[in-house]
Structure 1
Amino acid sequence: MALLRPLINQMSTKLPHLLGPGGFLQARREGASYIVENRPYVPSLIVDLNDETTVVNAAKVILSCAGGNKADIETKSVRNTATVKVSIMSGGLTNALFRVDIDDGKQHSVTSLLVRIFGAEGMIDRDKETANFARLCNAKGSVVHSQLDYLGRFGNGRVETLIPNMRAATICDLREKEDLVLEVTRQMARLHYGFDIPDYLLEKDAISSGVEEGENNCCQPQPVLWDVLASWNDELITKISQACSSDLRLVNIFCSALFGDTVQLNSIAAQDDDDKRESALTEMMSHIAKQLNRETRWIQDHVSEHHPDAPIAFCHNDVNAGNILVDGRLDSSDSSCYDRDSVATIDYEYGALNYTMYDMANFICEHCGGNDNGIPDYKLMPSLELQRKLVQEYMQERDSVMDNAATKHVGEYEEVTKLLSQMQTFQMVSHLYWGTWGILQGASELLDGEYEIENIKSRIGGDIDINSWDNLRYGKNRLDRYRKHKQSMLETGQKQMSYLYNSGRL
C-alpha cells in the first residue's frame, strides 16, 4: 500500500484531459500520471506476473483513481481493510488475464475487475488500441455491451469491468446456436456502421499531441491490413535470421511452415568460412523476404482488382469464440434467444480500420476453431447457405443503424452475392494474416528459449503436445489453408468459388 496512497493523491489533483494515442505518449514523455480519454493512466505502475500483490495494487490504484472520472464506478477510495481475491483467467492467447474481486467489508458488495497484462510486445500499438477501446466504451449500448467498460491503464496493462453471469463461447456454441451467430453478426454491423471513427485513425500523421485531435489533416479511411502484414513480414525475417544463425536446420522448418516447401541448404552448409556462411544465409533470408512480400502484394492486388469498392470501417478483426461472451443463465433454457444484452463481443486489441467483409470472413474462419491446440477443423466451415443468411442479417442490421430499414433495398440479391464474393476472398486473407501472426509468435518464443529447437518439427506436425496451444503449428495450418484456397481460386476462377464452398470441396 506504500505506492497506492501517493498515486491516489497525485491523481486526485486536477489534471488536463488528454485525448487519443498521443495522450498516452505525452504522459510517458513527461513521466507523469494523466487523465487520458477520461480515464487514469499511471505509466509508472508495473504489474509483475509472478507477484500477485502487484496485480491487486494495480486494480486498487485504478479503481480509486477512476472514481472521480466515471459516474458509474464506486466513487469512494478502496479501503485498506478490503478483502481481495485474485484468480487467473483462461482464454487469453496474447495477454495474461486476472480476475480481481474486491469486497469492501462494509456493505458486503463485491467489485469484480479484469486486470489485463499486455503481451505480443511490438505487434500491437497499445496506445491506439486503448484509445479505441475507450471510445467504444463511451458509445456502449449502441456499439458494445452496456456493462463493458475500460477503467484505466497502468504501465504494462489496463483494468476493465467484468460483466456478471457471462462465460466465453465455444466452437460448439457457434456450431449449434444459430441465433447466437446471428446476434454476433448484428453486433459487427453495429460496430461497423454505428461507431464514429476517431479523427486520429484518419489522420495522415496519427500520433502528434495528446491535447487535441487534428481537424484539417484527415483523409478517407484506409485499411490497416496491408501495412500490418508488411510490418509483420519485416519483423518475421529479422527473427528468423536470428534463429537460423544458430541452427541452419531451422531454415527448412520455417520455409516449410511459410511456403509449404523446403530449400537447398548445400550452398550454406558447405561453406567452411564463417563469413561466407553468413553471406549465404543472408542471401537465403533475402529470398524468403521477397517471397513473403510478393505474396502480400499479390493478395492486395487481387482485392483491389476484384473488390475495388469493398466498404471500409472500424472493425474488430478478431471475432472468435474466445472473444464472445454469452449469458450462462441461458444455457439451461430450452429456447435461447440471444440479443445485445446476453452477448458481448470483447477484446478489441486488433481493432482498426479494415474491410468490413474481412471482419465477417474472419468470423466465418473462426468457426473452425484451433485456438486450443493450433489445429483448425475446416470441416466445421459454415455452409454457403448459412453464410448467405448471415450476410442478409448483417445488411438488415446495417440498414437499421443507418436508418434505412424502412426503405426497400434495391438490388438486394445482387448485393448479397457481391458481399459473399468479398467474404470468400477475405477468408483467404484471414488465413494469410493469422498464419503469418502464428509463425511470428512462434519465432519469438523460439528466440526467448520457450522450447527446444530439437522439438520444433514435432511440434509443428502435431506429433507432440497435441492438446496444447502452439503458435508455430497454428501458423503453419492457417498458411496451408491459405495456399489451398488460393490454388482452388486460381484453378476455378472467382465466379466458381461459391460452388466449391457449397459442395464442401474447399
Structure 2
Amino acid sequence: MAIKPNKFVKSIVPEEWKKVLQAVASEFGDIVDVEELEVIPLKGAMTNEVYQINWSTKDDDVSRKVLLRVYGDGVDIFFNRDDEIKTFECLSKHGQGPLLLGRFANGRVEEFIHARTLSANDLRDPEISALIAAKMREFHKLDIPGPKNVVLWNRMRNWISEAKSLCSLKDAKEFRLDTLEDEINMLEKELSHDYQEIGFCHNDLQYGNIMMDEDSRAITLIDYEYASYNPLAYDLANHFCEMAANYHSDKPHILDYSLYPDLEERQRFARVYLSCSGNEPSDREVEQLVNEAEKFTLANHLFWGLWGIISGYVNKIDFDYMEYARQRFQQYWLRKPALLGSSGDSPL
C-alpha cells in the first residue's frame, strides 16, 4: 500500500534476508558485506512491511537500491500468494511494474522503481488523472494466463465465512454478517450484464500503488496482491472510492467522502479511459460507464469492509481496521437506496 521514507536506520538483518540479498547482489555483479547494508523502513503500508535496501557498488559513487517486502500476518486469507507471485512475474514480462529479484519464506526482493509514489492530492490533478486512466486501460487489456472468470463475488463470499469465524458476536451483529451473503447475491444479479466488459483488474488502485516518473510522466502500477479478472467498471469504482482516503494523515483510517470525485471528474476519467481504445467515445458510452462504475462502488464498499473486519483480527499493523470497515459499510447502506432504488437503512 502507500509508503513514505522514514529515517535511515542500521539494523540487524535476518539471516534469511541476508542470503537472498547476497544472491541478488551477486546477480548484479556486486560484492557486498551484508553486515553493512543500509536499511530504510518505508512507512504507510497497511498489509506489508516494506524496506529500501542500499549497498555500495564497485563504483563508489553509485549505490544499489532494491525494495524488500515482508508479507503481513494473516494476509494469505485474502489471496493465494503463489498466484500473486505468478501474476507479478507475468506482469514483469509484459513490462508492467518492478522485476522480481528474489524470494524468501515470508517476503521477496523487488526492483526499486525510480519514480515518485503519488499522493492523495495527485489523484485530483486532471493531467495526472488522465495518465492514470490511460494506464488503467492498458492494464485491463493485458492477457494474463489462467481462468478469465469474475473473481469478485466468490471472493467476498469466502471472506464472509472468514469474518464469521473470526468475529466476536458483538462485531458480527454490528456488521450484520448474517445478511451480507444476501446482499452480495443481490449485487451480483443487479450488476452482471451480458454487455459488461471483463478484464484483468488491479482491484486496489489507491494512490500509494501508483508511481510516476517525473521526467517522462510514465505511470507504473505496483502491488498486484488483489489483481484478478473482474468487471472493468469495478476497477474504476475502486479508484474513485480511493479518492476519499489519505493514508498519510494523522488518522489514516478516516475516509472523507466529500473528496469523492464529482460527476464531471468521473466523466472526464471515463472519457480518457474509453478513448484509449482508439475511438472517441460517445456521450452515451461515457455515461453508461460512469453509471456502471457508480453502482459498483457498492460492491467495493462491501469488499473493503470485509477486508477491514478480517484485518482487524489478523493484522498487527498500526491501523484502525475496524473503524475503516465501519465507514465502508456505512457508505454501502447510505448509497444503496439511491443507486439501486431499494431500501437500505444503515444499522451503524
Q: 1:432 to 1:182 in 2, by over 3 A?
A: same
Write the deviation string for residues 237-280 of structure 1: whole angstroms up to 9, x where unpaired.
Answer: 1111xxx3xxxxxx234422x14xxxxxxxxxxxxxxxxxxxxx
Q: 1:470 to 1:62 in 2, by over 3 A?
A: farther
The alignment partner of 1:52 has SS state of coil
Contact 1:370 1:474 (8 Å CA) reproduced: no
Contact 1:368 1:380 (8 Å CA) reproduced: yes
2:85 aligned partner: 130
Higher relative contact order, chain-length normalized (CA < 8 Å, sep 6+): 2
Contact 2:120 2:246 (8 Å CA) reproduced: no
Pairing partner for 1:384 from 252, 263, 271 = 263
Write the deviation string for residues 23-77 of structure 1: whole angstroms up to 9, x where unpaired.
Answer: xxxxxxxxxxxxxxxxxxxxxxxxxxx9524375154244157x3xxxxxx2x25
Contact 1:59 1:100 (8 Å CA) reproduced: no
Matches within 5 A, 1:57-456: 57-64=18-25, 67=27, 74=28, 76=29, 78-80=31-33, 83-119=36-72, 120-140=75-95, 144=96, 148-164=98-114, 166-175=115-124, 177-193=125-141, 195-198=142-145, 201-202=146-147, 221-240=148-167, 244=168, 251-256=169-174, 258-259=175-176, 288-289=177-178, 291-304=179-192, 307-327=193-213, 339-340=217-218, 343-372=219-248, 373-397=252-276, 399=277, 405=278, 412-445=282-315
2:3 aligned partner: none
- 2 CA distance for matches of 1:426 and 1:253? 25
- 2 CA distance for matches of 1:378 and 1:312? 28
- 1 CA distance for matches of 2:133 and 2:161? 34
Q: 1:442 to 1:408 in 2, by over 3 A?
A: closer
Q: 1:62 to 1:319 in 2, by over 3 A?
A: farther
Contact 2:25 2:32 (8 Å CA) reproduced: no
Contact 1:59 1:115 (8 Å CA) reproduced: no
Q: 1:128 to 1:108 in 2, by over 3 A?
A: same
- 1 CA distance for matches of 2:81 and 2:99? 17
> Structure 1 length normalisation: TM-score?
0.61
Larger Rg: 1
The alignment partner of 2:77 has SS state of coil
Q: 1:421 to 1:114 in 2, by over 3 A?
A: same
**Range with bigger deviation, 117-126 or 52-61:** 52-61
The alignment partner of 1:159 has SS state of strand
- 2 CA distance for matches of 1:133 and 1:81? 27
Amino acid at match of 2:262: S
- Taking only the aligned residue pairs, the percentage that are identical comes to 27
Q: 1:125 to 1:252 in 2, by over 3 A?
A: same
Deviation at 1:315, TM superposition (A): 0.8
- 1 CA distance for matches of 2:196 and 2:212? 31
> Structure 2 length normalisation: TM-score?
0.86
The alignment partner of 1:160 has SS state of strand
- 2 CA distance for matches of 1:322 and 1:434? 16
- 2 CA distance for matches of 1:439 and 1:408? 42
Q: 1:107 to 1:114 in 2, by over 3 A?
A: same
Q: 1:192 to 1:62 in 2, by over 3 A?
A: farther
- 1 CA distance for matches of 2:210 and 2:118? 6
Contact 2:32 2:56 (8 Å CA) reproduced: no
Contact 2:89 2:100 (8 Å CA) reproduced: yes
Write the deviation string for residues 407-437 of structure 1: whole angstroms up to 9, x where unpaired.
Answer: 565xx22221211121111111111110111
Amino acid at match of 1:293: E
Deviation at 1:90, TM superposition (A): 1.1
- 2 CA distance for matches of 1:53 and 1:136? 29
- Runs (5+) with no aligned partner, structure 2: 1-10, 344-348
Q: 1:356 to 1:126 in 2, by over 3 A?
A: same
Contact 2:294 2:339 (8 Å CA) reproduced: no
Amino acid at match of 2:331: R
The alignment partner of 1:222 has SS state of coil
- 2 CA distance for matches of 1:235 and 1:104? 47
Contact 1:81 1:105 (8 Å CA) reproduced: no
- 1 CA distance for matches of 2:275 and 2:311? 38
- 2 CA distance for matches of 1:316 and 1:87? 27
Aligned-residue Cα RMSD (Å) equals 2.4
Amino acid at match of 1:185: A
Deviation at 1:112, TM superposition (A): 0.4
Amino acid at match of 1:99: Q
- 1 CA distance for matches of 2:44 and 2:225? 14
Amino acid at match of 2:292: Q
Deviation at 1:108, TM superposition (A): 3.9
The alignment partner of 2:37 has SS state of strand
